[in-house]
Structure 1
Amino acid sequence: MDKRKSALLAIILLLVAGFFLFDLGQYLDLASLKAQHAALDGRVAAHPWLAGGLFFLIYVLVTALSLPGAALMTLVGGALFGLLGGTLLVSFASTLGATLAMLISRFLLRDWVQARFSQRLAGIDQGIAREGAAYLFALRLVPVFPFFLINLAMGLTKLPARTFWWVSQLGMLPGTLVYVNAGRELGQLDSLAGILSPGLLGAFVLLGLLPLLSRKALDWFKARKVYAGWVKPRRFDRNLVVIGAGSGGLVSAYIAAAVKARVTLIEKHRMGGDCLNTGCVPSKALIRSARLANELKKAERLGFKPVGGEVDFAAVMQRVQRVVATVEPHDSVERYTGLGVEVIEGEARITSPWSVEVNGQSLSTRAIVIATGASPLVPEIPGIEQIAPLTSDNVWALREQPRRLLVLGGGPIGCELAQAFQRLGCGVTLVQRNQRLLPREDPDASSAVLAGLRADGVDVRLQHKAVRFEVVDGQRRLVCMNMADDSEAAIAFDQVLLALGRVANVNGFGAEELGLEVRDNGTLATDGYLATRFPNIFAVGDVTSPYQFTHTSAHQAWYAAVNGLFGGLKRFKVDYRVIPWATFTDPEVAHVGLNEQDAKAKGIACEVTRFGIDDLDRAIADEAAHGYVKVLTEPGKDRILGVTIVGEHAGDLIAEYVAAMKHGLGLNKILGTIHIYPTLAEANKYAAGEWKRAHAPATALHWLARFHRWRLGSGGKNEAASPLKADGRLS
């Protein structure tokens, strides 16, 4: 820290220390000021300009140093200087003091914070540059956070000081008026009977209503700004129009119909979306067939003579389509029409915040839900146009088995399909750019999946970057770079499957014309209520979600539908606190909440408890004795912060922890719950038992051991009978 910063910091510390050392806060106490009210009134009357100047300077000093008492001084301003004089003094003094506090924070702290948290601040600075004034105005108008915290926090951003000043001046003015008015009424109180005066009661009612009125006013101003240039219909044909009939769209429409709203669901392709047609359902059907092929190889371990089973690849892929067709009625037009949803098959286009056009028909609606989903990412790799790559959209049309299948991508989709096709007889090579598979999971979970894939024969190439595709003598090849040693390798293949992630579908339905914002990651920008820049247009599912899972889309759909239908009365913020997911490889990996790598990255202290499933009776009986349950808890407490399960049926076992985290149940509750023996679910109880054993009250158990020996008549001298180890744990 340079000399200027050190000097300023020393002055501030001396002033703050003096404030508390000399107990100056006693003069900013309501009772003290009330007792001296008459004397202060006299001084103000005798020397109004001097009194006003001193009050102004003291207010600026208190605010600039973030000392307690600014709210009380606002009341004093009303009591001593009246509504007009008090408002002028407080308004300008508070703004000047707040600006000084912001500049002090910027001068002393920004460089230090920037050096340590530059990546996190970069995104914040981008947001501040884009709409910092509006954000600050909202904070000032609706006092969600203490004003002094806003001053200090804004100092860490790049918001210009002049912008901070004028926005604060305007944003704090309504609150200043209400508080000064309350102080004026208090100043006129001569007896306890005056407490019941209409003026004083009205002032306190205004104080109570200020946050609500401010929020309503802010929403009104924002709506006027965002809807400027659009003509709102006087009447509407529908309460809700939903675009897209995937998981998020179907659930949104279902909820609207359930509460008797008039809702229209528009789908341009196939009902059920990706999950039914190209995602969850077909992939799990494929994995089931692949699991049987793998089970046949384990026949001898279960007491059978070697069992032969030849894979009929075309029949397997046909079965996948049969499963899709069997599930299809659940998401059909007929079913949703029967539920009261108007279903229109066609391409929708939003033409205004309240109208959607489809098949040449214009539908007026109070609210719109966008559920257009996402599509597989097809990267711009040189030569890719020569090889007609497969994706999760079209791989299900395969009927001829590829002898050599190349999978690009080591995320959940890539790992699941690579293992499944390998077990069905394809020779699979998986190319992953990162150092490990499943980078969102802990390294030990990634290692378990890597071992599982390699045990099945998948050729996994980690730290390999795709450079180009080429066709040499009629043979397809991928040239990739080994990032570990910068060497090149050519991998021959018959078919290539791209599993490199998904891109939100944000084009083609009018989002551009309405100016709907798109985030840096390509998803549609929404607020905490899932609303876009237009408060009546919402988005759910893969088009906006940070979690591209079917169950998350359905979870979001409730919030979007309810906020769209009842937002004028009550809105609900979407809750992402407990979002589980699973990767259906062998072994399965299931996850909810924090994992170890997230906790370390975020600096969250936690304890880790681990139970090995290889020690579980049912797992041993099922020849499934591998994997683990890992639970993260608050230090010294049984509150669950996150869980990772690796092993068979991990996706099913995680549900108990999801429910526990959702409803605030700790490991003690899980330990006290009866689990059927022998089941895999006992692993959850035993993990809780491991935590309990680590937190056993050693001292109490030691004295209990002595008590029981005494009852045996040993007189407490037989120390050899103690069940405690030297470190205090149970033996």
Structure 2
Amino acid sequence: MDSKKSLLLILLIGLIGSFFIFDLGQYLSLDYFTQQRESIMSFYAENPFQTAAIFVVIYILCTALSLPGAAILTLVGGAIFGLVEGTVWVSIASTVGATLAFLVSRTLLKDSVQKKFGDSLKSINQGIEKEGAFYLFGLRLVPLFPFFVINLVMGLTPIKTRQFFFVSQLGMLPGTIVYVNAGTQLGQLESLSGIASPGLIFSFVLLGIFPIIAKKIMAAIQAKKVLADYDKPKQFDTNMVVIGAGSAGLVTALIAAATKAKVSLIERHKMGGDCLNTGCVPSKALIRSAKMVSYYNRAEEYGLSTQNIEVDFPAVMERIQRVIKTIEPHDSVERFTDLGVDCVQGSAEILDPYRVKVNGEVITTRNIVISTGARPFVPPIKGIESTGYLTSDTVWEIREKPNKMLIIGGGPIGCEMAQSFNRLGVNVIQLDKSPRLMPREDKDVSEEVQKKFSKEGIDLRLGYTTKEFIKEGDQNLLLCDDADGKQQRIEFDTLLLAVGRKPNTEGFGLDNLGIGLNPNGTIEVNEYLQTKFPNVYACGDVAGPYQFTHTASHQAWYTAVNGLFGMIKKFKVDYRVIPWATFTDPEVARVGLNEQEAIEQNIPYDVTTYGIDDLDRAIADDEAHGFIKILTVPGKDKILGATIVGHHAGDIIVEYVTAMKHNLGLNKILGTIHIYPTLTETNKFVAGNWKKANAPQKVLELLPKFHRWQRGGDSKKSNQTGVEVK
């Protein structure tokens, strides 16, 4: 640090230290002003300029040194000088003081901070250089952080000093007027009865509603800015255009129609999207058929004698299509048309934030909702195109049973498919680069599933790295390295890819709007699910952060309500309690944190477990396997997360979803009557285990003495069994 910086630092330490050592803060309080008001006002009457100069200097020093008291000084300024003059002096002093604090931060810290964290701050610096004035204005108008924090932090950025000065003055001006006005009312207060005066009440009401008004103003400015280059129609054909008729799009359109809005739902392929046609519905139908085979093969466990079952593979795959056809009317054009939705079959193209083109026709709309979903990700492995690979979109088309199926992917989709096809008589090899299945879950969860998979004969190849697909004659081969780095050759006839899903962000004009994408390919949205344009929303898989049908439906409510009624009230999307399940056998269900996430996020927790092998109903059903694990706040019954591995885990988890949503702890679950014998008793028993572990030990130590006193003393006496009681 050079001599100038050292001198500045010493001066700052001295000034700030003096403020606290000599308790100068006592003079920056309403109590002090109230006590000295008459003398201060007399001095002002005789020396108006000197009073103003002293006030401005004190205000500048207070703000420049980031000392507490600026808000009180603003009120005092109104009380002394009145609304107009007080606003002038406070505006000048606060801006000068903020700029000095900005320059101090820049002089002492900017170079070292940028040098040390330059790479991390690169995107922030670029944003400040591009939109710095707008962001600063927003922070001043709607203070998300205290003003002194804004002063210091902005000093570390590339924003220019002159720009900081003028934007700060403009941004702080509305708030300054409101506070100074409140101060004028305090200056007129003669007695306690004056507290109820209309002027003072109005001033404080204005203080309360100012942040809301400022936020509305800021939103309007931002909206006007991003929409300025587009021609807004005087009239609109519809209130909302929804692109994509999957779970998110259907629910959005349904809510819009239910609230009597005019809504157009555009789908280029099939109504119902992935969930109905290629995802949740067909996969669960497949899992059910495979489950029946599993039960048949376990018939002897239940005291039944049967001959070997024969799987009719084409019939199983046809059954899946029947299930889809049965559910299809729920998501059909006819149903949604009857409900008031204008269903359009065709490919949508977004022309601008107000116009969508489909089938050669341009629809003008107040709002656009993008709910285009996602598709299976195809990894760029050399030679993969020659394999005729299947994905979760195309696997439902096969009718001939594969002989040896290679499934790449150890996540939920890969695991569900691997177990199901294996149970239907397919030789399954499941490969993943992770050293364990379902790596997002805790290790003990993965081990429970892997144990079952290995027992059922699935060939697990974990920790493998794919290299290349080749053909030798008619034989498909995958060249890969195993967990030890040794090269392996895996033969297969059918390849199923289950390595994640890629958001659908291409082919409908998204690039026309310049809307940004996140690193994982999802559309950038804010907490209201708005894109950079306030009237263009995104929800479902294309928006993330979760790719679940129930999450897409959850988001759809927010896009519909915020889009149609956001000018009155907007709602931030709530992700606090998101459950999910993997429908393997055993099922894996989770809500909230698991142990590995708590450790990664450095969140302290207590863990309580219960083994389902001890549950009466599980034993009676011959499904006595798995466990339930609850994470709680240390020493409290507040639930941080729950993981269940076992029979019907996806159903049992609901009690914890409800508990976490409504802030109910384990004591409430323990005090709730559960039907005997049911699998949901696991929830009560794990709550009981928590209670035992957190029992008040000091009270328990005193209880023997209490009971001894209740029996009438310390005399030794034998009970009915002959055991001596002490």
| TM-score, with structure 1 as normaliser | 0.90
- Counterpart amino acid of residue 465 in structure 1: T
C-alpha contact (below 8 Å) 1:299/1:307 kept by paired residues: no
Which segment drifts farther, 137-146 or 615-624? Answer: 137-146
In the TM superposition, what is the alpha-carbon distance from 1:202 to its structure 2 partner? 5.2
Confirm whether residue 74 of structure 1 aligns to residue 50 of structure 2. Answer: no
Inter-partner Cα distance in structure 2 for 1:166 and 1:434: 54
Structure 1 unpaired stretches of 5+: 722-731
2:14 & 2:529 partners in 1: Cα distance?
A: 47
Distance of 2:116 and 2:460 partners within structure 1: 37
Structure 1 partner of 2:430:
430
Q: Is 2:631 the partner of 1:632?
A: yes
- Relative distance call for 1:17 and 1:588 in structure 2 (3 A) is farther
Query: Aligned pair in 2 of structure 1 residues 312, 559: CA closer, same or farther (>3 Å)?
Result: same
Q: How does 1:460-539 map to 2 (within 5 A)?
A: 460-482=460-482, 484-539=483-538
Q: Which amino acid in the other structure matches residue 419 of structure 1?
A: Q
Deviations 1:621-672 (A, max 9, x none): 2221111111111121111111111111111110010011111111111111
Equivalent runs, 1:32-51 vs 2, <5 Å:
32-41=32-41, 43=43, 51=51
Distance 2:115 2:584 in 1: 41
Q: Which moved more, 1:407-416 or 1:21-30?
A: 21-30
Moved more, 532-541 or 151-160: 151-160
Equivalent residues of 1:63, 1:101 under 8 A apart: yes
- Mapped pair 1:663 → 2:649: no
Count of aligned pairs between the two proteins: 720
Describe the superposition over 1:72-105 as per-residue Cα deviations: whole angstroms up to 9, x where unpaired.
Answer: 1122233445555544443344344445556766
Deviation at 1:715, TM superposition (A): 3.0
Matched with 1:265 is: 265
CA contact (8 A) 1:404 1:495 kept: yes
Distance 1:165 1:231, change over 3 A: same
Give the letter for the 1:302 counterpart.
Y
- With over 3 angstroms needed to count, the CA separation of the structure-2 counterparts of 1:493 and 1:170, relative to structure 1, is farther
Quick check: 562-571 or 31-40, which moved more?
31-40
Aligned to 2:723: none
Of stretches 661-670 and 197-206 in structure 1, the one that deviates more from structure 2 is 197-206
Equivalence for 1:174:
174
Secondary structure at the counterpart of residue 653 of structure 2: helix
Q: Structure 1 residues 210 and 124, CA, compared in 2 at 3 Å: closer, same or farther?
A: same
Cα deviation, residue 150, structure 1: 3.8
Q: 1:188 to 1:442 in 2, by over 3 A?
A: same
Structure 1 residue 593: Cα displacement: 0.9
Instruction: Give the 3 Å change call, closer, same or farther, for CA 93–446 of structure 1 in structure 2.
Output: farther
Distance 2:154 2:242 in 1: 39
Are 1:297 and 1:307, in contact at CA under 8 Å, matched by a contact in 2?
A: no
Higher mean alpha-carbon deviation, 99-108 vs 88-97, is at: 99-108
2:419 equivalent to 1:412: no
Alignment correspondent of 1:704: 703
For residue 207 of structure 2, what is the aligned residue in structure 1?
Answer: 207
Cα 1:15–1:461 shift into 2, 3 Å: farther
Aligned to 1:31: 31
Q: Distance in 1 between matches of 2:448 and 2:9?
A: 53
Matched, 1:223 2:223: yes
Deviations 1:113-140 (A, max 9, x none): 9999999878767766665543333222
Amino acid aligned to 1:588:
E
SS in 2 for 1:36: helix
Greater mean deviation of Cα atoms: 172-181 or 680-689: 172-181
- Residues 502-526 of structure 1 deviation map (CA, whole Å, 9 limit, x = unaligned): 1111122221112222222111111
Q: Give the superposition deviation at 1:318.
A: 1.1
* Cα 1:171/1:440, change in 2 over 3 Å: farther
Does the residue aligned with 1:476 lie in a helix, a strand or coil?
A: strand
Correspondence for 2:554:
555
Residue in 1 aligned with 2:575? Answer: 576
What is the rounded CA distance, in whole Å, between the counterparts of 1:50 and 1:539 in structure 2? 58
Q: Which runs of 5+ in 2 are unaligned?
A: 721-726
Q: Residues 301 and 132 from structure 1, CA distance in 2 versus in 1: closer, same or farther, beyond 3 angstroms?
A: farther
Distance 1:113 1:713 in 2: 74
AA at the equivalent of 2:696: P
* 1:688 paired to 2:687: yes
Report the Cα distance in structure 1 between the residues aligned to 2:604 and 2:684, rounded to whole angstroms: 23
Counterpart-to-counterpart distance in 2, 1:3 and 1:456? 75
Aligned to 1:726: none
Contact preservation (8 Å) 1:287, 1:420: yes
Q: What is residue 724 of structure 1 aligned with on the other side?
A: none
- Please name the residue that 1:63 is paired with: 63
Question: Is this contact kept in 2: 1:710–1:716, CA < 8 A?
Answer: no
Stretch deviating more after TM superposition (684-693 or 469-478): 469-478
- The TM-score normalised by the length of structure 2 is 0.91
Return the alpha-carbon distance in structure 2 between the equivalents of residues 307 and 167 of structure 1. 83
More deviation, 195-204/137-146:
195-204
The separation in 2 between residues aligned to 1:15 and 1:582, in whole angstroms, is 60
Deviates more, 1:321-330 or 1:119-128: 119-128
Q: Residue type matched to 2:465 in 1?
A: K
2:5, 2:260 → 1: CA distance?
A: 64
Give yes or no for contact 1:707–1:716 (8 Å, CA) kept in 2: no
Measure the CA separation in 1 of the matches of 2:498 and 2:601: 28
Q: Which residue of 1 aligns with 2:321?
A: 321
Distance 2:298 2:159 in 1: 65
Deviations 1:162-212 (A, max 9, x none): 665554333222212322333345445566676677765554444333212
> Contact 1:582–1:591 (CA<8 Å) still a contact in 2?
yes
1:355 and 2:355 matched: yes
Letter in 2 for 1:678: P
Do 1:313 and 1:400's aligned partners in 2 also have CA atoms closer than 8 Å? yes
Instruction: State the alpha-carbon separation in 1 of the partners of residues 310 and 4 from structure 2.
Output: 80
CA–CA separation in structure 2 for the residues paired with 1:5 and 1:613? 66
1:540-551 to structure 2, matched below 5 A, reads: 540-551=539-550
Paired position in structure 1 for 2:298? 298
Aligned partner of residue 375 in structure 1, secondary structure = strand
Query: Structure 1 stretch 224-233 or stretch 361-370: which is displaced more?
Result: 361-370
Aligned to 1:338: 338
CA–CA distance in 1 between the matches of 2:375 and 2:498?
A: 11
Counterpart CA distance in 2 for 1:457 and 1:529 is 47
SS at match of 1:172: helix
- Out of 337-346 and 73-82, give the one that drifted further: 73-82
Shift of 1:589: 0.9
Moved more, 678-687 or 339-348: 339-348
CA deviations on 1:378-434 (whole Å, 9 max, x unpaired) are 122211221121111101001111111111111111111111111211221222112
Distance of 2:78 and 2:510 partners within structure 1: 50
* Range that drifts further, 276-285 or 621-630: 621-630
Q: Cα distance 1:472–1:623, how it changes in 2: closer, same or farther (>3 A)? A: same
- Report what 1:725 is aligned to: none
